[in-house]
Amino acid sequence: SQTIHQWPATLVQPVGSPLSLECTVEGTSNPNLYWYRQAAGRGLQLLFYSVGIGQISSEVPQNLSASRPQDRQFILSSKKLLLSDSGFYLCAWSVPDQAGGPHEQYFGPGTRLTVT
Amino acid sequence: GENVEQHPSTLSVQEGDSAVIKCTYSDSASNYFPWYKQELGKRPQLIIDIRSNVGEKKDQRIAVTLNKTAKHFSLHITETQPEDSAVYFCAAALTGGGNKLTFGTGTQLKVEL
């Protein structure tokens, strides 16, 4: 069965520091991968998605970036964190969008980031 | 792009009553509609989904209905229990869209004893 991992689970970082969050998926190949951010008490905002190695689409302009160095690895980064970057960061995966139509997305356990 | 509106934002019911959450979408090409349940501090969990070729789907106490003409879909929870208390999100996606989901803003459901 498929499993999705995220680390770290929690993170407290000062303003202006760099960020690196990692997500890995097991038990599937060539998944679509997604990064979401959820501010406290709010909805899910799609930040980036990837349909393959090195293929990244950005949904919103921000000081974050994403990379996919391996098929089942997705990394979210920032060179300098802002206070507004605080939130719950969720990675998700799905099988590729094929002729059968969209498929279910499954979320990782998330990373709770507090920027101080 | 797609826009999904969700109502109500909060819903309080008595244990054993039914709860209904409604969503409308804007893009008539959307053909996949999942619902997620998120408990406090946890990840969203897929609880049920429906595709545009069916009008209703049931799984025990939960059901989803879809009206393509009106472009709205609803989540129905019967015989609510305290463990149903959570935030529920609806979403929509369409074929060829990279499997991207457009989410509603969420409904905080509270089941009171």
pLDDT tens-digit readout, A40-88: 888 999 999 999 999 999 988 678 999 999 999 999 999 999 999 999 9
Does the distance separating the beta carbons of B46 and A32 come in below 8 Å? no
Q: Is the pLDDT of residue A101 over 80?
A: no
List CB contacts (< 8 A) between B100 and chain A: 34, 46, 49
Of A32, A43, A90, the CB nearest to B99: A32
Q: Could you give the maximum distance between any two Cα atoms of chain A, in Å? A: 46
Residue A104 is nearest to which of B49, B94, B104, comparing CB atoms? B49
Backbone angles phi, psi at A85, to 5 degrees: -80, -5
The reply to whether omega before A102 is within 30° of 0 (cis) is: no
Task: Quickly state the pLDDT bin for B94 (edges 50, 70, 90).
Answer: confident
Tokens of B18: 């039914």
Q: Considering CB atoms only, which of B46, B94, B103 is closest to A102?
A: B94
DSSP type of residue B43: -
Q: Which residues of B touch A (CB under 8 A)?
A: 31-32, 34, 42-46, 49, 51, 89, 93-101, 103-106
Cα A55 to Cα A68: distance, rounded to the nearest angstrom: 7
Which among B4, B27, B39, B99 is the top mutation candidate for probing chain A, defined by the most A β-carbons within 10 Å of its own β-carbon? B99
CA R_g for chain A: 14
How many helices and strands in chain B, by DSSP H and E? 0, 11
What does the pLDDT look like over A103-113, one tens digit per residue?
899 999 999 99
The pLDDT of residue A100: 67
DSSP conformational letter for A27:
S
